[in-house]
Amino acid sequence: MMETIEKIKQQIAENPIILYMKGSPKLPNCGFSAQAAQAMMSCGEQFAYVDILLNPDIRAELPHYANWPTFPQLWVEGELIGGCDIILEMFQRGELQPLIKETAAKYKEEAQGE
């Protein structure tokens, strides 16, 4: 069994865009996660997600690792972007869409180049 922190590091390393949330984007389990996932889906790119309700170890450890107490949490290219408020603020300001699109495009190119 991998240590939880190692598992988190691996998830963040392997997924350029990852949302830690309660539930799934299609069946969110809390209002904040629902709003965050909605904003992410509106960007029109695929993103990874981890349902922390199914992963209590990650739910317990990630706030310490991230130094961010709440969920959802959006990570892009290994950097914590923030939670629901920040995601929605960036979306409304038109900053989330280019970040997500550019990141997705960059990794698509890399995948094709392999």
Annotated binding-site members for [2Fe-2S] cluster: 30
Pairing of strands 17-21, 48-51: parallel
The annotation places the binding site at 22, 30, 59, 71, 84-85
Q: Which residues are annotated as a binding site for glutathione?
A: 22, 59, 71, 84-85
The values of phi and psi at residue 69, to 5°, are -75, -20
Pairing of strands 17-21, 73-76: antiparallel
Handedness of CA 24, 27, 28, 30 (dihedral sign): negative
